[in-house]
Structure 1
Amino acid sequence: MSREIDYGNLMHRAMRGLIRNVLDDIAANGLPGAHHFFITFDTSHPDAELADWLSDRYPGEMTVVMQHWFDNLDVGEEGFAVTLNFGDSPEPLYIPYDAIKTFVDPSVEFGLRFESTEEDSDDDLEPLEISDEPIEQDAQTSADKKKKAEIVSLDSFRK
């Protein structure tokens, strides 16, 4: 019986662990400096929790912004909960890590994109393009105003 190392899934788990570590730090210490996050997630994921009006408005995916105002950030093993403001209406969300499609911190030009296929592969993490333009909570970044971000390799985190 032949056995293979599944680098694609291992990389996905590592990158989702990185997101969890970042959110843990933010929950404990707040957002430092100009850091902020654009998080795009699959609203139809079976474990995602959001208001009906949000899932109706965004039936496939939604990009949320964690920047000036967010509350009740609770980081767990499988996902995180946060309350965000949508047009003066605070709404609680629960976003499983495996529902995340993109995670971007434009203040340092860092971005991750998770591609989902039948079987994850090494090519599933692609460079992500990000915009310098500020976006509103329910807006998407425009493709014509984007620039490339660099994907950080795990080697850069080793001591």
Structure 2
Amino acid sequence: MADDHDNTPENGAFPPESQLPYEQWLDEAYRGVMLSALEYVSREGLAGEHHFYLTFRTDLPGVVIPDRLRAQYPHEMTIVLQHQFWDLAVDRAAGKVSVGLSFGGVGSILVIPVAAFTGFADPSIHLSLHFTASDAAAAAAAATETAPAAPAEDDAGGSAESDPSSQVVSLDAFRKKGPSPA
């Protein structure tokens, strides 16, 4: 007996509109997975080949990064947590993640609201999660957005890529030999 409600893409139809907020629930669940991983690493450290790529909107309220990085990445930035980072902390109650990283030999503490994250990946196990920035935070950023700064020379000596809105900051160029700054 044929199913009249078969809305698979193979049949040329799309799933019906849901009255339940499944996308929101999935987004919240995936963010929870990211936060659990960050909490674990803040207590236990990174094991084996695990490392994280964290992508976040730099133009949303509450994001605290050095001004020169905001100028270089006016919309979105990806950081890598692998060898040298410090003071990784997750504050679920405040909805923030903070971490210390060194950029061009200068230590900085970044503070990123959970709502600003757009991606989390652990390439060692081929895990990649994508989120949408909070609608309220995105609307606030759009209302206050100004013309982006011109791409600047990065501290490694090369020029920023042509699309500064979504770039990976490679920390290899910024790593010092020896212990992590405190």
Q: TM-score, normalised by structure 2?
A: 0.62
**Structure 1 residue aligned with 2:170:** 136
User: Which of the two has higher C-alpha Rg?
Assistant: 2
Query: 2:70 matched to 1:55?
Result: yes
Query: 2:44 matched to 1:13?
Result: no
How far apart in 1 are the matches of 2:114 and 2:44?
Answer: 21
Please point out which of 75, 85, 91 is paired with 2:108. Answer: 91
- Cα root mean square deviation, aligned: 2.5
What SS does the aligned partner of 1:111 have? strand
How far apart in 1 are the matches of 2:133 and 2:32?
Answer: 17
Structure 1 segments of 4+ aligned residues over 4 angstroms from their partners: 116-119
**Structure 2 residue aligned with 1:38:** 53
Q: What is the identity percentage for the equivalent residue pairs of Structure 1 and Structure 2? A: 36
Q: Which residue identity is paired with 1:111? A: S
Q: Which residue identity is paired with 1:136? A: S
Structure 2 residue runs of 5 or longer lacking an equivalent are 1-17, 137-168, 174-182
Report if the CA contact (8 A) 1:40-1:100 is conserved: yes
Structure 1 residue runs of 5 or longer lacking an equivalent are 120-134, 140-159
- Report the count of equivalent residues: 123
Aligned-pair CA distance for 1:136: 1.6
Report if the CA contact (8 A) 2:122-2:128 is conserved: yes
Aligned-pair CA distance for 1:137: 2.7
Q: How does 1:81-120 map to 2 (within 5 A)?
A: 81-116=98-133
Q: TM-score, normalised by structure 1?
A: 0.70
Aligned-pair CA distance for 1:15: 0.7
